[in-house]
Chains A and B, each alone.
Chain A
Amino acid sequence: MIEALAEYGATNSRIVVLTADVSSSILTTYFAQKFPDRFFNVGIAEAGMVDTAVGLALGGMIPFVNTFAGLFLRATEQIRTCVAYARTNVKLIGGYGGLSDFKDGPTHHSIMDIAVMRAMPNIAVLVPADSIEAKKLVPLMAQYQGPLYMRISRSEMPIVFDDNHKVEIGKGVVVRNGRDITVIANGYMVSRSLEAASLLSSRGIDVRVLNIHTVKPLDISLIRKCAKETGAIVTVEEHSTIGGLGSAVAEALVRGYPVPVEMVGIADTFAETALDYDSLLDRYGMSVEDIVRAVQRALDRKKT
Protein backbone atom coordinates (compact mmCIF):
# COMPACT_ATOMS: atom_id res chain seq x y z
CA MET A 1 0.00 0.00 0.00
CA ILE A 2 2.64 2.49 1.10
CA GLU A 3 5.04 1.44 -1.65
CA ALA A 4 2.15 1.89 -4.04
CA LEU A 5 1.65 5.42 -2.75
CA ALA A 6 5.31 6.20 -3.40
CA GLU A 7 5.14 4.65 -6.87
CA TYR A 8 1.98 6.53 -7.70
CA GLY A 9 3.49 9.73 -6.28
CA ALA A 10 6.07 9.56 -9.06
CA THR A 11 3.36 9.74 -11.71
CA ASN A 12 1.14 12.32 -10.01
CA SER A 13 2.85 15.43 -8.67
CA ARG A 14 -0.34 16.53 -6.89
CA ILE A 15 0.03 13.76 -4.31
CA VAL A 16 1.22 14.95 -0.91
CA VAL A 17 1.49 12.93 2.28
CA LEU A 18 0.94 14.12 5.84
CA THR A 19 1.69 12.20 8.97
CA ALA A 20 1.45 12.83 12.71
CA ASP A 21 4.71 11.31 13.97
CA VAL A 22 3.74 7.82 12.86
CA SER A 23 5.62 7.66 9.57
CA SER A 24 7.98 4.94 10.78
CA SER A 25 5.03 2.95 12.12
CA ILE A 26 2.88 3.33 9.03
CA LEU A 27 5.90 3.32 6.72
CA THR A 28 5.21 6.60 4.95
CA THR A 29 8.97 7.20 5.32
CA TYR A 30 9.19 5.45 1.97
CA PHE A 31 7.27 8.29 0.33
CA ALA A 32 9.18 10.86 2.40
CA GLN A 33 12.51 9.65 1.07
CA LYS A 34 11.39 9.85 -2.52
CA PHE A 35 9.45 13.12 -2.31
CA PRO A 36 10.66 15.18 0.66
CA ASP A 37 9.03 18.35 -0.69
CA ARG A 38 5.64 16.67 -0.72
CA PHE A 39 5.86 15.09 2.70
CA PHE A 40 4.83 16.87 5.89
CA ASN A 41 5.33 15.49 9.38
CA VAL A 42 3.19 17.69 11.60
CA GLY A 43 4.03 16.08 14.93
CA ILE A 44 1.44 14.76 17.33
CA ALA A 45 -1.29 17.05 16.09
CA GLU A 46 -3.94 14.99 14.34
CA ALA A 47 -6.62 17.67 14.28
CA GLY A 48 -4.26 20.27 12.88
CA MET A 49 -2.99 17.73 10.36
CA VAL A 50 -6.47 17.20 8.96
CA ASP A 51 -7.03 20.96 8.64
CA THR A 52 -3.64 21.42 6.99
CA ALA A 53 -4.57 18.70 4.52
CA VAL A 54 -7.79 20.57 3.85
CA GLY A 55 -5.76 23.65 2.93
CA LEU A 56 -3.52 21.58 0.66
CA ALA A 57 -6.61 20.18 -1.04
CA LEU A 58 -8.03 23.69 -1.49
CA GLY A 59 -4.72 24.56 -3.12
CA GLY A 60 -5.19 21.77 -5.66
CA MET A 61 -3.10 19.02 -4.09
CA ILE A 62 -4.33 15.49 -3.28
CA PRO A 63 -3.38 14.93 0.35
CA PHE A 64 -3.07 11.44 1.81
CA VAL A 65 -3.29 11.86 5.56
CA ASN A 66 -1.95 9.16 7.81
CA THR A 67 -2.31 8.30 11.42
CA PHE A 68 -3.64 5.44 13.51
CA ALA A 69 -7.30 4.78 12.75
CA GLY A 70 -8.20 5.26 16.41
CA LEU A 71 -6.51 8.65 16.50
CA PHE A 72 -8.53 10.06 13.64
CA LEU A 73 -11.27 10.29 16.23
CA ARG A 74 -9.33 13.23 17.66
CA ALA A 75 -10.00 15.05 14.43
CA THR A 76 -13.65 14.09 14.15
CA GLU A 77 -14.92 17.66 14.12
CA GLN A 78 -12.29 18.69 11.61
CA ILE A 79 -13.30 15.77 9.42
CA ARG A 80 -16.99 16.58 9.77
CA THR A 81 -16.74 20.31 9.12
CA CYS A 82 -13.72 20.84 6.92
CA VAL A 83 -13.53 17.53 5.02
CA ALA A 84 -17.07 16.11 4.82
CA TYR A 85 -19.25 19.21 4.87
CA ALA A 86 -16.82 21.34 2.86
CA ARG A 87 -16.28 18.32 0.58
CA THR A 88 -12.53 18.81 0.29
CA ASN A 89 -10.47 16.29 -1.64
CA VAL A 90 -8.74 14.74 1.37
CA LYS A 91 -7.80 11.06 1.61
CA LEU A 92 -7.65 9.81 5.19
CA ILE A 93 -5.64 6.64 5.76
CA GLY A 94 -6.22 5.04 9.15
CA GLY A 95 -3.52 2.55 10.03
CA TYR A 96 -3.64 0.03 12.88
CA GLY A 97 -7.27 -0.71 12.05
CA GLY A 98 -9.40 -2.96 14.24
CA LEU A 99 -7.44 -4.94 16.81
CA SER A 100 -4.31 -5.16 14.63
CA ASP A 101 -2.26 -3.25 17.18
CA PHE A 102 -2.99 -6.10 19.59
CA LYS A 103 0.07 -5.43 21.76
CA ASP A 104 -0.81 -1.82 22.62
CA GLY A 105 -4.30 -2.40 23.96
CA PRO A 106 -7.65 -0.66 23.54
CA THR A 107 -6.12 2.85 23.44
CA HIS A 108 -4.61 1.83 20.11
CA HIS A 109 -7.37 -0.40 18.80
CA SER A 110 -9.92 1.02 16.40
CA ILE A 111 -13.31 -0.59 16.65
CA MET A 112 -15.64 2.32 15.86
CA ASP A 113 -13.89 4.22 13.07
CA ILE A 114 -16.12 2.80 10.35
CA ALA A 115 -19.28 3.76 12.25
CA VAL A 116 -18.06 7.32 12.73
CA MET A 117 -16.82 7.84 9.18
CA ARG A 118 -19.83 6.16 7.62
CA ALA A 119 -22.18 8.55 9.38
CA MET A 120 -20.49 11.50 7.70
CA PRO A 121 -22.17 12.65 4.48
CA ASN A 122 -19.87 12.86 1.45
CA ILE A 123 -17.13 10.53 2.75
CA ALA A 124 -16.42 7.20 1.05
CA VAL A 125 -15.24 4.43 3.37
CA LEU A 126 -12.87 1.65 2.27
CA VAL A 127 -11.57 -1.43 4.06
CA PRO A 128 -9.34 -3.48 1.73
CA ALA A 129 -8.99 -7.21 2.25
CA ASP A 130 -5.27 -7.51 1.62
CA SER A 131 -2.22 -5.58 0.50
CA ILE A 132 -2.91 -6.22 -3.19
CA GLU A 133 -6.37 -4.72 -2.93
CA ALA A 134 -4.99 -1.79 -0.93
CA LYS A 135 -2.30 -1.13 -3.55
CA LYS A 136 -4.81 -1.25 -6.36
CA LEU A 137 -7.01 1.21 -4.54
CA VAL A 138 -4.29 3.91 -4.28
CA PRO A 139 -4.61 5.36 -7.79
CA LEU A 140 -8.40 4.98 -7.62
CA MET A 141 -8.47 6.97 -4.39
CA ALA A 142 -6.40 9.71 -5.98
CA GLN A 143 -8.69 9.81 -9.01
CA TYR A 144 -11.85 9.75 -6.87
CA GLN A 145 -13.20 13.28 -6.56
CA GLY A 146 -13.88 13.96 -2.91
CA PRO A 147 -13.15 12.84 0.59
CA LEU A 148 -12.42 9.29 1.44
CA TYR A 149 -11.39 7.19 4.43
CA MET A 150 -9.40 3.99 4.09
CA ARG A 151 -8.68 1.71 7.01
CA ILE A 152 -5.62 -0.48 6.81
CA SER A 153 -4.22 -3.05 9.18
CA ARG A 154 -1.01 -2.95 11.15
CA SER A 155 -0.27 -6.56 10.53
CA GLU A 156 0.62 -8.49 7.44
CA MET A 157 -2.68 -9.82 6.22
CA PRO A 158 -3.05 -13.14 4.39
CA ILE A 159 -3.08 -12.54 0.66
CA VAL A 160 -6.51 -13.15 -0.82
CA PHE A 161 -6.09 -11.79 -4.32
CA ASP A 162 -3.53 -11.98 -7.10
CA ASP A 163 -2.47 -9.25 -9.48
CA ASN A 164 -5.42 -9.91 -11.78
CA HIS A 165 -7.81 -8.72 -9.08
CA LYS A 166 -10.15 -6.02 -10.44
CA VAL A 167 -11.06 -3.29 -8.00
CA GLU A 168 -13.60 -0.53 -8.35
CA ILE A 169 -14.65 1.82 -5.55
CA GLY A 170 -18.25 1.03 -4.62
CA LYS A 171 -18.32 -2.42 -6.20
CA GLY A 172 -18.35 -5.60 -4.13
CA VAL A 173 -16.41 -8.67 -5.18
CA VAL A 174 -17.67 -12.25 -4.97
CA VAL A 175 -14.57 -14.15 -3.88
CA ARG A 176 -16.23 -17.54 -3.55
CA ASN A 177 -19.44 -18.74 -5.13
CA GLY A 178 -22.11 -20.54 -3.16
CA ARG A 179 -25.87 -21.04 -3.00
CA ASP A 180 -26.87 -21.61 0.63
CA ILE A 181 -25.83 -18.40 2.33
CA THR A 182 -23.69 -15.30 1.72
CA VAL A 183 -20.96 -14.21 4.10
CA ILE A 184 -20.22 -10.53 3.62
CA ALA A 185 -16.86 -9.42 4.96
CA ASN A 186 -14.05 -6.93 4.53
CA GLY A 187 -10.49 -6.42 5.69
CA TYR A 188 -8.73 -9.32 7.36
CA MET A 189 -12.11 -10.97 7.91
CA VAL A 190 -12.33 -11.87 4.21
CA SER A 191 -9.62 -14.48 4.58
CA ARG A 192 -11.16 -15.79 7.81
CA SER A 193 -14.52 -15.98 6.06
CA LEU A 194 -12.95 -18.01 3.27
CA GLU A 195 -11.54 -20.40 5.86
CA ALA A 196 -14.97 -20.73 7.43
CA ALA A 197 -16.49 -21.36 4.00
CA SER A 198 -14.04 -24.21 3.37
CA LEU A 199 -14.88 -25.78 6.70
CA LEU A 200 -18.59 -25.49 6.03
CA SER A 201 -18.16 -26.90 2.55
CA SER A 202 -16.86 -30.13 4.09
CA ARG A 203 -20.14 -30.26 6.04
CA GLY A 204 -22.13 -29.85 2.86
CA ILE A 205 -22.94 -26.15 3.22
CA ASP A 206 -22.28 -24.09 0.12
CA VAL A 207 -21.17 -20.61 1.26
CA ARG A 208 -20.79 -17.57 -0.96
CA VAL A 209 -18.23 -15.03 0.24
CA LEU A 210 -18.64 -11.41 -0.76
CA ASN A 211 -15.88 -8.87 -0.17
CA ILE A 212 -17.34 -5.43 0.48
CA HIS A 213 -14.17 -3.31 0.49
CA THR A 214 -16.30 -0.18 0.06
CA VAL A 215 -18.60 0.22 3.04
CA LYS A 216 -19.78 3.50 1.57
CA PRO A 217 -21.09 3.97 -1.05
CA LEU A 218 -22.43 0.47 -0.45
CA ASP A 219 -22.98 -1.92 -3.36
CA ILE A 220 -26.63 -2.30 -2.41
CA SER A 221 -27.73 -4.01 -5.61
CA LEU A 222 -25.13 -6.77 -5.28
CA ILE A 223 -25.97 -7.30 -1.61
CA ARG A 224 -29.71 -7.58 -2.37
CA LYS A 225 -28.95 -9.93 -5.24
CA CYS A 226 -26.97 -12.18 -2.90
CA ALA A 227 -29.80 -12.03 -0.35
CA LYS A 228 -32.28 -13.10 -3.01
CA GLU A 229 -30.10 -15.87 -4.39
CA THR A 230 -28.92 -17.36 -1.09
CA GLY A 231 -31.68 -16.34 1.34
CA ALA A 232 -29.47 -15.64 4.36
CA ILE A 233 -26.58 -13.33 5.23
CA VAL A 234 -23.74 -13.26 7.75
CA THR A 235 -21.67 -10.11 8.07
CA VAL A 236 -18.10 -10.35 9.36
CA GLU A 237 -16.02 -7.37 10.34
CA GLU A 238 -13.16 -6.40 12.61
CA HIS A 239 -15.24 -3.65 14.18
CA SER A 240 -18.01 -3.10 16.66
CA THR A 241 -21.26 -4.65 15.50
CA ILE A 242 -22.74 -1.18 16.08
CA GLY A 243 -22.56 1.00 13.01
CA GLY A 244 -20.11 -0.83 10.78
CA LEU A 245 -20.39 -3.16 7.80
CA GLY A 246 -23.05 -5.31 9.50
CA SER A 247 -25.21 -2.28 10.17
CA ALA A 248 -24.75 -1.00 6.62
CA VAL A 249 -25.76 -4.35 5.16
CA ALA A 250 -28.74 -4.67 7.53
CA GLU A 251 -29.92 -1.16 6.62
CA ALA A 252 -29.80 -2.06 2.95
CA LEU A 253 -31.63 -5.35 3.44
CA VAL A 254 -34.44 -4.29 5.75
CA ARG A 255 -35.41 -1.64 3.23
CA GLY A 256 -35.16 -3.82 0.19
CA TYR A 257 -35.06 -7.56 0.75
CA PRO A 258 -35.21 -8.69 4.37
CA VAL A 259 -33.61 -12.09 4.99
CA PRO A 260 -32.08 -13.49 8.20
CA VAL A 261 -28.86 -11.59 9.00
CA GLU A 262 -26.32 -12.59 11.63
CA MET A 263 -23.41 -10.33 12.55
CA VAL A 264 -19.89 -11.27 13.50
CA GLY A 265 -17.70 -8.55 15.00
CA ILE A 266 -16.70 -7.20 18.35
CA ALA A 267 -19.65 -6.86 20.73
CA ASP A 268 -20.32 -3.53 22.42
CA THR A 269 -17.12 -3.67 24.46
CA PHE A 270 -13.46 -2.69 24.40
CA ALA A 271 -10.97 -5.50 23.85
CA GLU A 272 -7.68 -5.86 25.77
CA THR A 273 -3.97 -6.28 25.21
CA ALA A 274 -2.70 -9.55 23.76
CA LEU A 275 0.55 -11.23 22.78
CA ASP A 276 -0.63 -11.96 19.26
CA TYR A 277 -3.27 -10.75 16.84
CA ASP A 278 -5.10 -13.95 16.00
CA SER A 279 -5.70 -14.94 19.63
CA LEU A 280 -7.22 -11.52 20.30
CA LEU A 281 -9.58 -11.77 17.34
CA ASP A 282 -10.56 -15.26 18.49
CA ARG A 283 -11.13 -14.10 22.06
CA TYR A 284 -13.40 -11.22 20.98
CA GLY A 285 -15.83 -13.05 18.77
CA MET A 286 -14.15 -12.99 15.34
CA SER A 287 -12.76 -16.53 15.12
CA VAL A 288 -13.35 -18.81 12.17
CA GLU A 289 -15.51 -20.87 14.51
CA ASP A 290 -17.59 -17.74 15.33
CA ILE A 291 -18.25 -17.31 11.63
CA VAL A 292 -19.21 -20.97 11.29
CA ARG A 293 -21.64 -20.69 14.19
CA ALA A 294 -23.16 -17.51 12.80
CA VAL A 295 -23.71 -19.26 9.47
CA GLN A 296 -25.47 -22.10 11.22
CA ARG A 297 -27.70 -19.69 13.16
CA ALA A 298 -28.62 -17.81 10.00
CA LEU A 299 -29.37 -21.07 8.17
CA ASP A 300 -31.60 -22.20 11.05
CA ARG A 301 -33.53 -18.93 10.82
CA LYS A 302 -33.75 -19.26 7.06
CA LYS A 303 -35.46 -22.65 7.40
CA THR A 304 -38.14 -21.51 9.85
Chain B
Amino acid sequence: MVFKKAHSVKLIKELEQIARQLRIDALGMIHCREQGHPGGALSCADIISALYFHHLRIDPDRPEWEARDRFILSKGHACAILYPALARRGYFPIEELKTWGHIGSRLQGHPDRLKTPGVEMTTGCLGHGISIGAGLCLAGRVKGLDYHTYVLVGDGECQAGILWEGVMLAGKYRLSKLITIMDYNKIQLDGRVEDIMPLEPVKKKWESFNWATLEINGHNMEEILDSLDMACRIRDRPTIIVAHTIKGKGVSFMEGKAEWHAKAPNDDEFKQAIEELRKNG
Protein backbone atom coordinates (compact mmCIF):
# COMPACT_ATOMS: atom_id res chain seq x y z
CA MET B 1 0.00 0.00 0.00
CA VAL B 2 1.04 3.62 -0.46
CA PHE B 3 1.80 5.74 2.55
CA LYS B 4 2.96 9.29 2.94
CA LYS B 5 6.54 9.56 4.08
CA ALA B 6 6.17 10.70 7.66
CA HIS B 7 9.23 9.22 9.29
CA SER B 8 12.83 10.30 8.98
CA VAL B 9 15.44 8.16 7.32
CA LYS B 10 17.40 8.34 10.54
CA LEU B 11 14.58 6.85 12.60
CA ILE B 12 14.01 4.11 10.08
CA LYS B 13 17.73 3.22 10.05
CA GLU B 14 17.81 3.18 13.83
CA LEU B 15 14.82 0.88 14.11
CA GLU B 16 16.21 -1.43 11.44
CA GLN B 17 19.45 -1.59 13.38
CA ILE B 18 17.57 -2.43 16.57
CA ALA B 19 15.61 -5.16 14.76
CA ARG B 20 18.91 -6.65 13.63
CA GLN B 21 20.23 -6.57 17.18
CA LEU B 22 17.04 -8.22 18.48
CA ARG B 23 17.45 -10.99 15.90
CA ILE B 24 21.03 -11.54 17.06
CA ASP B 25 19.90 -11.54 20.70
CA ALA B 26 17.08 -14.00 19.97
CA LEU B 27 19.31 -16.45 18.15
CA GLY B 28 21.88 -16.18 20.90
CA MET B 29 19.25 -17.03 23.49
CA ILE B 30 17.89 -19.93 21.46
CA HIS B 31 21.38 -21.27 20.76
CA CYS B 32 22.40 -20.94 24.38
CA ARG B 33 19.29 -22.71 25.66
CA GLU B 34 19.20 -25.19 22.77
CA GLN B 35 15.45 -24.56 22.70
CA GLY B 36 13.07 -22.03 21.24
CA HIS B 37 11.22 -20.85 18.16
CA PRO B 38 13.58 -18.98 15.82
CA GLY B 39 11.36 -18.87 12.71
CA GLY B 40 8.44 -16.96 14.20
CA ALA B 41 10.71 -14.77 16.33
CA LEU B 42 12.75 -13.55 13.36
CA SER B 43 9.64 -12.92 11.25
CA CYS B 44 8.27 -10.33 13.68
CA ALA B 45 11.54 -8.64 14.73
CA ASP B 46 10.92 -5.51 12.65
CA ILE B 47 7.39 -5.11 14.03
CA ILE B 48 8.62 -5.52 17.60
CA SER B 49 11.38 -2.99 17.00
CA ALA B 50 8.91 -0.43 15.63
CA LEU B 51 6.53 -0.92 18.52
CA TYR B 52 8.91 -0.99 21.48
CA PHE B 53 11.46 1.54 20.26
CA HIS B 54 9.17 4.10 18.71
CA HIS B 55 5.43 3.63 18.57
CA LEU B 56 4.25 2.37 21.97
CA ARG B 57 3.47 4.95 24.67
CA ILE B 58 5.26 3.17 27.48
CA ASP B 59 7.63 4.02 30.30
CA PRO B 60 9.79 1.22 31.72
CA ASP B 61 10.22 3.26 34.90
CA ARG B 62 6.45 3.21 35.41
CA PRO B 63 5.37 -0.27 34.30
CA GLU B 64 2.01 0.14 36.08
CA TRP B 65 1.24 3.54 34.50
CA GLU B 66 -2.52 3.34 33.98
CA ALA B 67 -2.61 5.17 30.66
CA ARG B 68 0.23 3.24 29.02
CA ASP B 69 -0.30 1.46 25.74
CA ARG B 70 -0.61 -2.30 26.10
CA PHE B 71 1.09 -4.89 23.94
CA ILE B 72 0.11 -8.56 23.93
CA LEU B 73 2.29 -11.11 22.17
CA SER B 74 -0.55 -13.47 21.30
CA LYS B 75 1.95 -15.70 19.49
CA GLY B 76 3.77 -16.22 22.77
CA HIS B 77 6.24 -18.71 21.29
CA ALA B 78 8.01 -15.74 19.70
CA CYS B 79 9.14 -14.54 23.13
CA ALA B 80 12.79 -14.88 22.10
CA ILE B 81 12.28 -11.57 20.29
CA LEU B 82 10.13 -9.95 23.00
CA TYR B 83 12.53 -10.59 25.88
CA PRO B 84 15.51 -8.79 24.32
CA ALA B 85 13.22 -5.92 23.32
CA LEU B 86 12.04 -5.56 26.92
CA ALA B 87 15.59 -5.84 28.24
CA ARG B 88 17.02 -3.30 25.79
CA ARG B 89 14.07 -0.99 26.49
CA GLY B 90 15.03 -1.08 30.17
CA TYR B 91 12.54 -3.40 31.83
CA PHE B 92 15.23 -5.75 33.14
CA PRO B 93 18.99 -6.25 32.74
CA ILE B 94 20.24 -7.53 29.39
CA GLU B 95 22.45 -10.07 31.21
CA GLU B 96 19.27 -11.72 32.46
CA LEU B 97 18.48 -12.93 28.92
CA LYS B 98 20.88 -15.82 29.33
CA THR B 99 18.82 -17.19 32.23
CA TRP B 100 15.91 -17.87 29.86
CA GLY B 101 14.30 -21.23 30.61
CA HIS B 102 16.42 -22.05 33.65
CA ILE B 103 14.69 -23.04 36.86
CA GLY B 104 14.24 -19.91 38.93
CA SER B 105 14.50 -17.54 35.96
CA ARG B 106 12.01 -14.71 35.46
CA LEU B 107 12.03 -15.59 31.76
CA GLN B 108 9.73 -18.54 31.16
CA GLY B 109 9.48 -20.71 28.06
CA HIS B 110 6.47 -18.61 27.13
CA PRO B 111 5.67 -15.11 28.47
CA ASP B 112 4.49 -14.89 32.07
CA ARG B 113 3.03 -11.59 33.20
CA LEU B 114 3.62 -12.38 36.87
CA LYS B 115 7.33 -13.06 36.44
CA THR B 116 8.70 -10.88 33.68
CA PRO B 117 8.68 -7.09 34.00
CA GLY B 118 7.00 -5.52 30.99
CA VAL B 119 5.05 -8.60 29.92
CA GLU B 120 1.43 -7.43 29.93
CA MET B 121 -0.15 -10.84 29.58
CA THR B 122 0.74 -14.47 29.94
CA THR B 123 0.53 -16.14 26.53
CA GLY B 124 1.65 -19.31 24.83
CA CYS B 125 -1.61 -21.10 24.17
CA LEU B 126 -2.66 -19.62 20.88
CA GLY B 127 -5.74 -17.62 19.97
CA HIS B 128 -6.31 -15.66 23.17
CA GLY B 129 -4.76 -12.28 22.44
CA ILE B 130 -7.60 -10.56 20.64
CA SER B 131 -10.32 -11.27 23.21
CA ILE B 132 -7.95 -10.19 25.98
CA GLY B 133 -6.97 -7.07 24.06
CA ALA B 134 -10.66 -6.34 23.51
CA GLY B 135 -11.24 -6.61 27.26
CA LEU B 136 -8.41 -4.14 27.87
CA CYS B 137 -10.02 -1.73 25.41
CA LEU B 138 -13.40 -2.07 27.13
CA ALA B 139 -11.73 -1.34 30.47
CA GLY B 140 -10.10 1.74 28.97
CA ARG B 141 -13.46 2.87 27.64
CA VAL B 142 -15.21 2.41 31.00
CA LYS B 143 -12.40 4.28 32.76
CA GLY B 144 -12.12 7.02 30.15
CA LEU B 145 -8.46 6.29 29.35
CA ASP B 146 -7.11 6.76 25.85
CA TYR B 147 -4.49 4.00 25.64
CA HIS B 148 -4.24 1.68 22.67
CA THR B 149 -3.91 -2.07 22.89
CA TYR B 150 -1.71 -3.82 20.34
CA VAL B 151 -1.95 -7.53 19.74
CA LEU B 152 0.55 -9.43 17.62
CA VAL B 153 -1.01 -12.62 16.26
CA GLY B 154 0.57 -15.38 14.24
CA ASP B 155 -1.08 -16.72 11.13
CA GLY B 156 -1.43 -20.25 12.49
CA GLU B 157 -3.49 -19.06 15.44
CA CYS B 158 -5.99 -17.51 13.05
CA GLN B 159 -7.14 -21.10 12.56
CA ALA B 160 -8.49 -21.13 16.13
CA GLY B 161 -12.19 -20.46 16.63
CA ILE B 162 -11.52 -18.62 19.89
CA LEU B 163 -9.61 -15.96 17.98
CA TRP B 164 -12.66 -15.15 15.87
CA GLU B 165 -14.85 -14.83 18.96
CA GLY B 166 -12.63 -11.93 19.93
CA VAL B 167 -12.65 -10.50 16.41
CA MET B 168 -16.45 -10.55 16.41
CA LEU B 169 -16.66 -8.91 19.81
CA ALA B 170 -14.22 -6.15 18.90
CA GLY B 171 -16.29 -5.46 15.80
CA LYS B 172 -19.51 -5.27 17.81
CA TYR B 173 -18.10 -2.76 20.28
CA ARG B 174 -16.19 -0.83 17.57
CA LEU B 175 -12.98 -1.02 19.58
CA SER B 176 -10.94 1.42 17.53
CA LYS B 177 -8.16 1.37 20.10
CA LEU B 178 -7.53 -2.30 19.41
CA ILE B 179 -4.84 -2.68 16.78
CA THR B 180 -3.88 -6.16 15.70
CA ILE B 181 -0.85 -7.02 13.63
CA MET B 182 -0.81 -10.36 11.90
CA ASP B 183 2.65 -11.81 11.39
CA TYR B 184 1.73 -13.55 8.17
CA ASN B 185 4.83 -15.65 7.60
CA LYS B 186 2.79 -18.45 6.00
CA ILE B 187 4.51 -21.30 7.81
CA GLN B 188 3.37 -23.12 10.91
CA LEU B 189 4.81 -26.00 12.93
CA ASP B 190 3.72 -28.77 10.57
CA GLY B 191 4.26 -26.98 7.28
CA ARG B 192 2.68 -24.35 5.06
CA VAL B 193 -0.42 -22.62 6.39
CA GLU B 194 -1.92 -22.95 2.93
CA ASP B 195 -1.67 -26.74 3.10
CA ILE B 196 -2.62 -27.27 6.72
CA MET B 197 -5.62 -24.94 6.93
CA PRO B 198 -5.69 -22.08 4.46
CA LEU B 199 -6.63 -18.60 5.68
CA GLU B 200 -7.24 -16.84 2.41
CA PRO B 201 -8.94 -14.57 1.71
CA VAL B 202 -7.45 -13.11 4.89
CA LYS B 203 -8.36 -9.46 4.45
CA LYS B 204 -11.94 -10.25 3.50
CA LYS B 205 -12.34 -12.32 6.64
CA TRP B 206 -11.39 -9.44 8.90
CA GLU B 207 -13.37 -6.93 6.83
CA SER B 208 -16.49 -9.05 7.13
CA PHE B 209 -16.13 -8.85 10.92
CA ASN B 210 -16.22 -5.03 10.65
CA TRP B 211 -12.52 -4.38 11.05
CA ALA B 212 -10.45 -1.88 9.08
CA THR B 213 -7.69 -3.67 7.20
CA LEU B 214 -4.24 -2.55 6.16
CA GLU B 215 -1.74 -4.69 4.32
CA ILE B 216 2.01 -4.15 4.44
CA ASN B 217 5.40 -5.70 3.95
CA GLY B 218 6.22 -6.58 7.54
CA HIS B 219 9.94 -6.15 6.93
CA ASN B 220 9.67 -2.63 5.54
CA MET B 221 10.15 -0.33 8.53
CA GLU B 222 8.57 2.66 6.87
CA GLU B 223 5.43 0.69 6.04
CA ILE B 224 5.25 -0.68 9.57
CA LEU B 225 5.49 2.78 11.13
CA ASP B 226 3.05 4.35 8.69
CA SER B 227 0.49 1.59 9.12
CA LEU B 228 0.62 1.91 12.91
CA ASP B 229 0.05 5.65 12.65
CA MET B 230 -2.78 5.15 10.20
CA ALA B 231 -4.41 2.54 12.45
CA CYS B 232 -4.38 5.07 15.30
CA ARG B 233 -6.26 7.54 13.13
CA ILE B 234 -9.14 5.10 12.52
CA ARG B 235 -11.81 6.02 15.05
CA ASP B 236 -14.79 3.83 14.33
CA ARG B 237 -13.51 0.24 14.25
CA PRO B 238 -10.60 -1.98 15.21
CA THR B 239 -7.75 -2.37 12.74
CA ILE B 240 -5.88 -5.40 11.47
CA ILE B 241 -2.52 -4.82 9.86
CA VAL B 242 -1.81 -7.86 7.71
CA ALA B 243 1.99 -7.89 7.67
CA HIS B 244 3.45 -10.16 5.03
CA THR B 245 6.62 -11.58 6.50
CA ILE B 246 9.16 -14.32 5.97
CA LYS B 247 9.57 -17.03 8.55
CA GLY B 248 13.18 -17.01 9.79
CA LYS B 249 13.79 -13.61 8.13
CA GLY B 250 17.45 -12.58 8.02
CA VAL B 251 19.03 -16.04 8.10
CA SER B 252 19.20 -17.60 4.63
CA PHE B 253 18.92 -21.22 5.64
CA MET B 254 15.99 -20.58 7.99
CA GLU B 255 13.88 -18.45 5.68
CA GLY B 256 10.58 -20.02 4.71
CA LYS B 257 11.40 -23.33 6.37
CA ALA B 258 8.92 -25.03 8.71
CA GLU B 259 11.75 -27.06 10.26
CA TRP B 260 12.96 -23.85 11.92
CA HIS B 261 9.66 -23.24 13.67
CA ALA B 262 10.96 -24.73 16.90
CA LYS B 263 14.57 -25.81 16.53
CA ALA B 264 17.78 -24.39 17.91
CA PRO B 265 20.77 -23.89 15.59
CA ASN B 266 23.91 -25.93 16.28
CA ASP B 267 27.25 -24.15 16.75
CA ASP B 268 28.08 -23.94 13.03
CA GLU B 269 24.59 -22.85 12.07
CA PHE B 270 24.59 -20.24 14.81
CA LYS B 271 27.93 -18.86 13.66
CA GLN B 272 26.73 -18.60 10.07
CA ALA B 273 23.43 -17.02 11.12
CA ILE B 274 25.15 -14.30 13.15
CA GLU B 275 27.62 -13.61 10.33
CA GLU B 276 24.76 -13.16 7.90
CA LEU B 277 22.87 -10.84 10.21
CA ARG B 278 25.98 -8.73 10.87
CA LYS B 279 27.01 -8.61 7.20
CA ASN B 280 23.58 -7.56 5.99
CA GLY B 281 23.54 -4.74 8.50
Contact = CB atoms under 8 A, between A and B. Distances in A.
A52 B121 CA distance: 12
Chain B CB count within 10 A is highest, among A42, A54, A59, A61, for A59
B138 A52 contact: yes
Nearest to B64: A60
Contact of A55 (B114, B134, B161, B162): B134
A264 to B, nearest CB: 37
B227 interface: no
A277 interface: no
B139 A55 contact: yes
B136 A48 contact: no
Interface stretch (A77-85, A94-102, A223-231): A77-85
A48 B162 CA distance: 6
Given A45-B165, A47-B162, A55 B125 contact: no
Contacts of B162: 47-48, 51, 78
A86 B139 contact: no
Interface in B139-188: 139-140, 142-143, 149, 161-162, 165-166, 168-169, 173
Contact of B133 (A55, A61, A86, A87): A55
A53 B135 contact: yes
Contact of A40 (B124, B132, B138, B165): B138
A58 B131 contact: no
B34 interface: no
Interface in A28-49: 37-38, 40, 42-43, 45, 47-49
A85 B122 contact: yes
B66 interface: yes
A86 B162 CA distance: 18
B132 A82 contact: yes
A58 B135 contact: yes
Contacts of B140: 59
Contact of A52 (B112, B142, B161, B166): B166
A42 B138 contact: no
A56 interface: yes
A52 B151 CA distance: 13
A208 to B, nearest CB: 41
A142 to B, nearest CB: 15
Chain A CB count within 10 A is highest, among B112, B114, B128, B133, for B128
A49 B132 CA distance: 9
Interface residues of A, number: 30
B165 A48 contact: yes
B6 to A, nearest CB: 30
B137 interface: yes
A68 to B, nearest CB: 17
A63 B135 CA distance: 10
A81 B169 contact: no
A50 B142 CA distance: 18
B139 A59 contact: yes
Contact of A45 (B121, B133, B168): B168
A38 B135 contact: no
Contact of B125 (A49, A50, A57, A81): A81
A45 to B, nearest CB: 4
Contacts of B66: 60
Contacts of A16: 138-139, 142
B176 to A, nearest CB: 16
A37 B138 CA distance: 10
Contacts of B165: 42, 45, 47-49, 51
Nearest to B178: A55
B120 interface: yes
Given A57-B135, A61-B142, A78-B162, A43 B168 contact: yes
27 contacts: A38-B142, A42-B169, A45-B168, A45-B169, A47-B162, A48-B131, A49-B165, A50-B131, A51-B128, A51-B162, A55-B132, A55-B135, A55-B137, A55-B138, A55-B139, A57-B135, A58-B136, A59-B142, A60-B143, A61-B143, A63-B135, A77-B125, A78-B128, A81-B128, A82-B122, A85-B122, A86-B112
Interface of B: 66, 70, 112-114, 120-122, 124-125, 128, 131-140, 142-143, 149, 161-162, 165-166, 168-169, 173
Given A45-B165, A61-B142, A81-B128, 13 more contacts: A16-B139, A37-B142, A47-B162, A48-B165, A52-B138, A54-B121, A54-B135, A55-B131, A58-B121, A58-B136, A59-B136, A59-B142, A59-B143
